[in-house]
Amino acid sequence: MSDTILRRVRPEQFRELILVVVTLGLLAFFATQIPGYFDPRSVNRLTVGLAIPLVVAVGQVLVVLTRNIDLSVSSIVGMVAYVVGTLLTRSEALSAPLAVLLSILLGAALGAVNGLIVAYGRVPAVIATLGTLALYRVVLVEFSGARTVTTADLPDWLNDVPSATLLAVGGYDLRLVVGVALLTVILGQFALRSLPFGRRLYAIGSNPAAARTAGLPVERDVFTAFALSGALSGLAGFLFLVRFGNITVTAAQGLELQVVAAVVVGGVNIFGGSGSMIGALMGVLLIEILQQSLLRWAGISEFARDAILGLLILLAVTADAVILGRLREAWVRVRRRDQERAQAATAGVGGATHGA
Amino acid sequence: MKRRRFIAGAMCAGLLAANVGAGVLAQEATPAASGAAVEATTGQDVKMMLLPKFLGILPFDQANQGAQEAAAELGNPTAFDFVGPTAENSVAGQIEFMTNAPTAGYDVVMLSNNSGDQIVPSAVGAQEAGTKVVTWDSPIPNGEGESVFVAQVDFTETGKVMADMALSILGEDGGQFAILSASPDAANQNAWIAAMEDALEDPAYANLELLETVYGDDQSEKSYEQAQALISKHPDMELIMAPTSVGIVSAAQALQAEGLCDEIKVSGLGVPAEMLEYTQNGCAPEFALWSFVDLGYLTYYVSYMLATGDLQGVEGETFMAGRLGEYTITQDPTRPDVEALRVLMGPFTVYNIDNVEEAAG
Amino acid sequence: MGRELWRRLRSWEGLLAILLLVVLAFNVTRVPNFLTVTNQINLFQLGIEKAIVVLVMAFVIISGEIDLSVASMMGLSAAVVAALFELGVPVPLAILVALGVGAGFGLINGFFVARVGLSSLAVTLAGYVGFRGLARLLVQDRSVGGFPAWFTDLGQRGLIGPVTLSILLFAILAVVAAVALHASGFGRLAYEVGNSAPAARFSGVPVARVKIAIFTLSGLVSALAGVLMAARLGAVRASTAEGFELDIITVVLLGGVSIFGGVGTMLGVLLSTYLVLNLRNGLVIAGVTGNTQTGIIGLLLILSVLAPNLWERGRAGLRRRRPEPSLRAPPVAPAGSMPSRAATE
């Protein structure tokens, strides 16, 4: 790493780049192991698989930045997929835009309940959302009466959504669902970088007490973060419905851990205050590549897969941390050398040299 | 015409102690296994629990409907409890219900076992305390603590039926196929897969090549991804065989979404209402199942009659189960190594384009 | 005197005690055969492995970390016992190996958290996936049973009267844990590390060593719980104890331990353990489905924190006319303590 780059940016800003490097390394490795790894079909399968966890992860980042966590996302995804699916089977009048809107609103409402309990009820987020994780699922099981939503009962337009393609280059598709997911990442990143609301989330997560003293609307922002996380989970619920078509009451169970893992791997600090949407994107990508590639790796027995997955997650996280640590050391060294040089210069000639 | 019988045996004495209601029977002695089909004594007070693997999926709900129907016919004044654990806590939850069943005063637990042999200590404990354990859908593998297993179909036959469907879909010249199962711990799926592997030994199926068995844990999304991975991994695969109602629809959906239904087919065990579309569009030309409603109905009859003493639960007893007719308790030939009794319901229904719509209702 | 009693009742443990009394009253009056010896033993037996892991999870969370791998470790240790037994290794030796595996992997967890500096959530998530994967690798799709009778008897039959080995071990470990947390140097270090690791480091606390010790213990105790579970169920499958981690963490949090570390008592954790065991027992016997049980416990978890907070706020609202020694309540995103605890201290 050249010193000039280290003079310009802090190592933390390399974080996403490091994840890209680790991910590329994995891709290269799996490409040697799995025939046809970069086939258009395989790649399309992988990218479509990203959409759901990605949308949920964007919401999770908003919440985690404020030093909270939303564990109820999987139950929201399942509930929305099931409820909207049921409505679509019962009423043909429900149009596509309306169904999407309804999914987002239902998700937002469930997220708002979390937000109320956490922000205004002052219940720690882990407790509140562990509770609603269970509660939303219970409501779903009671509501369902053991019926499953089946693709046969769903309107035809819904079944065409997964294969709808925005852009196709040589067989590699940018599917509509992936486009939507990437759009949420972009919007999320924009909000964090450029909107006052986004900036405040960092401030709240870095030091809640200070944020309050500084007069930031802490309650309102935390509430909004939860409602947005719910809304995005609702959108993910809709994507879940269109992708899988057959929805049982166990839909999306366990997704919360996958998303939290992705967010943490993506470098979002679980204690709030730092992280980015791009990091979350890389985290989701990394976890998804690991999972999907291990499924396809013929050399791996069905029973060995999870053992390897666990090891690879640990390796990826460690690689990330070690590289970041090295960079930080180098950065400190360069800075210190520059300082010494600057001091020497001022003591000597009188301020001729400056860093680029 | 109702016949009343004498309750004999230590188990039943324990049962009487546990349930005073059953003690008011007027009784007369008849040897068990007398040959003639026994009729149920209606109107007895028996406290029963229907315990599926977990709540919230269609097959178990249908079993509940069947049991409700039988309960109404038999005039049991105490409504049975349809309870179950959550899907993610299935094993521990079933053991909890089983352990506490005698304390709660149940005379019979009707169990679709998801806990393998891990349920044995609690089932044996229940039996010792006078609570009968009748399994249905999925038995206790080693038969300990189980009064009798009400089998939906013969487990050996399941393997044969799956092999036959594979052959009929792939044709005489055969081809490659893979199995998409539920979880690696699902006792009935494991038994069926083993039976299918045995069936494949027959030279008639020599051209069928089983590639591998993968597991989707009875979760739609996981089964879907497993199906996709099978497609990627085995370019020449022509069939996915899924002996689970969740796996089969997920696999069919994955194939349909990729427009691959012409090259790769899905078969296995599925619920007609959920499979209708895939059979009609050719993704799943053939699949099989039995009636879960009938299974619940028959299970209720067997359990009720065991609890009232109409049946002793020994080999060779023949009885009438309402609209389903006559059944006999036999040794379970599919578990030859252990002491286990079975009532065989049957038959299989193989669904295809001709009959799926009617069955889907 | 009256004020003293009032103050105690308003503490977290007081609230739990009241809740427990309510549940007990319900169980005693409404649940048939609740007070029989068999049922009281069943009540503990059914959740005893979770209860044992709860004790060590309290230390993990108080020290400001989390261990998501405990349930997978329980499954792995049971699988180790099963796989070795299948190979003909004597069961006592197999148990020792399983405990060693538990402590070893716990040490590795601790190393990555404390020395490499990774977040414990990430490290133990890898363990959560990986340990379960190793269990799957060891016993695959089999169900391993047929253990010697002494082993299964230890898990299933009373050792002293009707009291089983597991219950006895739990009782002993509970006392040890309470003493270690509240009356030993180690407990004090755990709180200091949990309150603020950097501050603890500056004041000379060997933060890394404390964390590594706690994670090693967590692995060891989880492995012990896995062995006990294998004995109780008499058969081992790779899915043994799947999903227990959230139940275990729920009980610890309900016990008043702050997820942000540094706060919590063993009394609260024990009360919450007994409360949840009673609730489960009463609900199962009353024929309530698993979903509803989970829902009730989820609701209880939220309400136990929410209700006192709202009440506190209501009172604060009434007093607002008088000058108030401002903001006693902790920030929304609680940086330190459980809100209602903070309100009482």
Q: Cα separation of C181 and C191, whole Å?
A: 8
Say what the pLDDT of residue A144 is.
Answer: 82
Could you give the number of structural domains in chain C? Answer: 1
Question: Which stretches of B85-183 are DSSP H helices?
Answer: 90-100, 120-128, 155-170
Name the residue with higher pLDDT: B8 or A282.
A282
B10-152+292-346 falls under which CATH superfamily?
Answer: Response regulator (3.40.50.2300)
| Cβ-Cβ contacts under 8 Å, A36 against chain B | 232, 235
| B51: closest chain C residue by CA | C289
Using CB atoms, which chains have 3+ pairs under 8 A with A? Answer: B, C
> Do C133 and A308 make contact, defined as CB atoms within 8 angstroms?
yes
| Cβ-Cβ contacts under 8 Å, A270 against chain C | 119, 121
| Cβ-Cβ contacts under 8 Å, A321 against chain C | 116-118
Quick check: A253 and A74 in contact, CB under 8 A? yes
Looking only at the bridges linking them, the beta strands covering A172-175 and A165-169 are antiparallel
Q: For residue C325, say if its preceding peptide bond is cis, omega within 30 degrees of 0.
A: no
Name the residue with higher pLDDT: B328 or C9.
B328
Q: Does B235 touch chain A (CB under 8 A)?
A: yes
> Do C233 and B121 make contact, defined as CB atoms within 8 angstroms?
yes
> Do A130 and C331 make contact, defined as CB atoms within 8 angstroms?
no
Q: Cα separation of B311 and B14, whole Å?
A: 15
Q: Is it true that B10-152+292-346 and B155-289 share their CATH fold?
A: yes
| B254: closest chain A residue by CA | A244
| Cβ-Cβ contacts under 8 Å, C285 against chain B | 100, 103-104
Strand order from edge to edge, sheet including B341-344: B81-82, B48-51, B108-111, B132-136, B148-151, B341-344, B326-331, B318-320
Among residues A259, B228, A260, which one has the least CA distance to residue C119? Answer: A260
Helix (H, G, I), strand (E, B) or coil at A299: coil
Q: Cα separation of A106 and A119, whole Å?
A: 20
> Do B87 and A253 make contact, defined as CB atoms within 8 angstroms?
yes
Nearest by CB to residue B97, choosing from C45, C235, C284, is C284
pLDDT digits (tens, 9 = 90+) for A311-325: 988 988 888 888 888
Quick check: A240 and A107 in contact, CB under 8 A? no
Which token pair is B326?
């006559």
DSSP bridge pairs for C158: C164
Among residues C207, C210, C186, which one has the least CA distance to residue C197? Answer: C207
Say what the pLDDT of residue C6 is.
Answer: 66
> Do A138 and C294 make contact, defined as CB atoms within 8 angstroms?
yes
B-C contacts at Cβ under 8 angstroms: 103
| Cβ-Cβ contacts under 8 Å, B57 against chain A | 146, 148, 248-249
Residues in chain A: 356
Which token pair is B37?
């089909």
Say what the pLDDT of residue B58 is.
Answer: 84
Using CB atoms, which chains have 3+ pairs under 8 A with C? Answer: A, B
Distance from CA of B258 to the nearest CA of C (A): 30
How large is the average pLDDT for residues A184-208?
95
Nearest by CB to residue A248, choosing from B226, B246, B256, is B246
DSSP bridge pairs for B319: B38, B327
Q: Does B189 touch chain A (CB under 8 A)?
A: no
Q: Cα separation of A237 and A80, whole Å?
A: 5
pLDDT digits (tens, 9 = 90+) for A57-115: 999 999 999 999 999 999 999 999 999 999 999 887 889 999 999 999 999 999 999 99
Say what the pLDDT of residue B211 is.
Answer: 95
Q: How many other CB atoms are there within 10 angstroms of residue B56's CB atom?
A: 24
| A118: closest chain C residue by CA | C332
How large is the average pLDDT for residues A183-202?
96
Helix (H, G, I), strand (E, B) or coil at B201: coil
Q: Which of B99, B106, B144 to probe the C interface (max C CBs under 10 A)?
A: B99
> Using CA of residue C248, residue C253, residue C255, residue C260, what is the dihedral sign?
positive
| A35: closest chain B residue by CA | B233
One-letter amino acid for residue A285 of the chain: L
pLDDT digits (tens, 9 = 90+) for B313-333: 999 999 999 999 999 999 999
Angle between helices A40-65 and A218-244 (to 10 degrees): 160
Mean pLDDT, chain B, as a whole number?
89
Residue A348 pLDDT level (bands cut at 50, 70, 90): low
Question: Per-residue pLDDT for C34 more than 70?
Answer: yes
| Cβ-Cβ contacts under 8 Å, C292 against chain B | none
Q: Cα separation of A72 and A81, whole Å?
A: 14
| A249: closest chain B residue by CA | B56
pLDDT digits (tens, 9 = 90+) for C235-283: 999 999 998 999 999 999 999 999 889 999 999 999 999 999 999 999 9
| C142: closest chain B residue by CA | B185
Residue C336 pLDDT level (bands cut at 50, 70, 90): very low
Quick check: A76 and A253 in contact, CB under 8 A? no
Nearest by CB to residue A146, choosing from B56, B184, B257, is B56
Q: Cα separation of B294 and C329, whole Å?
A: 60
**Which residues neighbour B22 within 8 Å (Cβ) at sequence distance 6 or greater?**
B15, B16, B44, B45, B46, B107, B307, B308, B309
Among residues B335, B301, B321, which one has the least CA distance to residue B50? Answer: B301
Distance from CA of C134 to the nearest CA of A (A): 5
| Cβ-Cβ contacts under 8 Å, C342 against chain A | none
With an 8 Å Cβ cutoff, the interface of chain B facing chain C consists of: 49, 54-56, 81, 83-86, 88-89, 91-93, 95-97, 99-100, 102-105, 116-118, 120-121, 129, 141-142, 183-185, 187, 190
Q: How far apart are the first and last CA of chain C?
A: 18
pLDDT digits (tens, 9 = 90+) for C101-118: 999 999 999 999 999 989
> Do C46 and B99 make contact, defined as CB atoms within 8 angstroms?
yes
Nearest by CB to residue C289, choosing from B84, B99, B120, is B84
Burial class of residue A343, CB neighbours in 10 A (0-12, 13-18, 19+): exposed
Q: How many other CB atoms are there within 10 angstroms of residue B32's CB atom?
A: 16
Q: Cα separation of C233 and B99, whole Å?
A: 11
Q: Which H or E run contains B209?
A: strand B208-215
Q: Which of A15, A122, A222 to probe the C interface (max C CBs under 10 A)?
A: A122
One-letter amino acid for residue B200 of the chain: L
Q: Which of C42, C278, C284, C294 to probe the B interface (max B CBs under 10 A)?
A: C284
Residue B170 pLDDT level (bands cut at 50, 70, 90): very high
Helix (H, G, I), strand (E, B) or coil at B287: strand
Highest mean pLDDT among A5-14, C10-19, C46-55: C46-55
How large is the average pLDDT for residues A179-187?
97
**Which residues neighbour A53 within 8 Å (Cβ) at sequence distance 6 or greater?**
A236, A255, A258, A259, A262, A284, A287, A288
Cα-only R_g, chain C: 21
DSSP bridge pairs for A175: A165
> Do A252 and B221 make contact, defined as CB atoms within 8 angstroms?
yes
Using CB atoms, which chains have 3+ pairs under 8 A with B? Answer: A, C
How much is the ipTM here? 0.88
Range of the domain at C199: 48-269
| Cβ-Cβ contacts under 8 Å, B97 against chain C | 284
> Using CA of residue A177, residue A178, residue A184, residue A190, what is the dihedral sign?
negative
| Cβ-Cβ contacts under 8 Å, B244 against chain A | none
> Do A123 and C302 make contact, defined as CB atoms within 8 angstroms?
yes
Does C56 map to a domain? yes
Say what the pLDDT of residue A330 is.
Answer: 85
Q: Does C220 touch chain A (CB under 8 A)?
A: no
Burial class of residue A135, CB neighbours in 10 A (0-12, 13-18, 19+): buried
Q: Cα separation of A114 and A125, whole Å?
A: 8
Nearest by CB to residue C233, choosing from B105, B118, B129, is B118
Phi, psi of B243 (to 5 degrees): -80, 45
Among residues C312, C328, C207, which one has the least CA distance to residue C262? Answer: C207
Q: What share of chain A is helix, strand, coil (3-state, %, to 5)?
A: 75, 5, 20
How large is the average pLDDT for residues A259-278?
89
pLDDT digits (tens, 9 = 90+) for B98-107: 999 999 999 9
Does C332 map to a domain? no
Q: How far apart are the first and last CA of chain A?
A: 16
Cα A165–A168–A170 angle (5° rounding)? 145
Among residues B278, B273, B236, which one has the least CA distance to residue B257? Answer: B278
> Do A146 and B257 make contact, defined as CB atoms within 8 angstroms?
no
**DSSP class of residue B24?**
G
pLDDT digits (tens, 9 = 90+) for B275-297: 998 999 999 999 999 999 999 99
Nearest by CB to residue B57, choosing from A49, A148, A150, is A148
**DSSP class of residue B107?**
S
Q: Cα separation of A300 and A292, whole Å?
A: 12
> Do A296 and B88 make contact, defined as CB atoms within 8 angstroms?
no
Name the residue with higher pLDDT: A330 or B291.
B291
pLDDT digits (tens, 9 = 90+) for C36-77: 999 999 999 999 999 999 999 999 999 999 999 999 999 999
Highest mean pLDDT among A37-46, A153-162, B80-89, C172-181: C172-181
Task: Write out the E strands in chain A.
Answer: 165-169, 172-175
Angle between helices C266-285 and C12-30 (to 10 degrees): 20
Q: Cα separation of C192 and C136, whole Å?
A: 38
Nearest by CB to residue A146, choosing from B55, B232, B258, is B55
Distances (CA, A) of A127 to A263, A328, C173, C297, C305: 19, 35, 26, 11, 9
Task: Write out the E strands in B19-119.
Answer: 48-51, 81-82, 108-111
Q: What share of chain B is helix, strand, coil (3-state, %, to 5)?
A: 40, 20, 40
Cα dihedral: A240, A244, A248, A254 (round 10): -60
pLDDT digits (tens, 9 = 90+) for A210-254: 999 999 999 999 999 999 999 999 999 999 999 998 898 889 998
Q: How many other CB atoms are there within 10 angstroms of residue B9's CB atom?
A: 13
**Any idea which architecture B155-289 has in CATH?**
3-Layer(aba) Sandwich (3.40)
Distance from CA of B88 to the nearest CA of A (A): 8
Which token pair is B313?
């639960």
Q: Where are chain A's structural domains? A: 40-252
Quick check: B84 and B55 in contact, CB under 8 A? yes
Q: Cα separation of A103 and B149, whole Å?
A: 44
Say what the pLDDT of residue A5 is.
Answer: 72
> Do C36 and B103 make contact, defined as CB atoms within 8 angstroms?
yes
pLDDT digits (tens, 9 = 90+) for B107-127: 999 999 999 999 999 999 999
Lowest-confidence segment of A133-137, A185-189, B85-89, B166-170 by average pLDDT: B85-89
Quick check: B317 and B326 in contact, CB under 8 A? no
> Do C141 and B121 make contact, defined as CB atoms within 8 angstroms?
no
Does C334 map to a domain? no
Residue C338 pLDDT level (bands cut at 50, 70, 90): very low
| Cβ-Cβ contacts under 8 Å, A325 against chain C | 117
Which token pair is B125?
């404990």
Say what the pLDDT of residue B31 is.
Answer: 43
Q: Where are chain B's structural domains? A: 10-152+292-346, 155-289
Percentage with pLDDT > 90 across chain C: 74
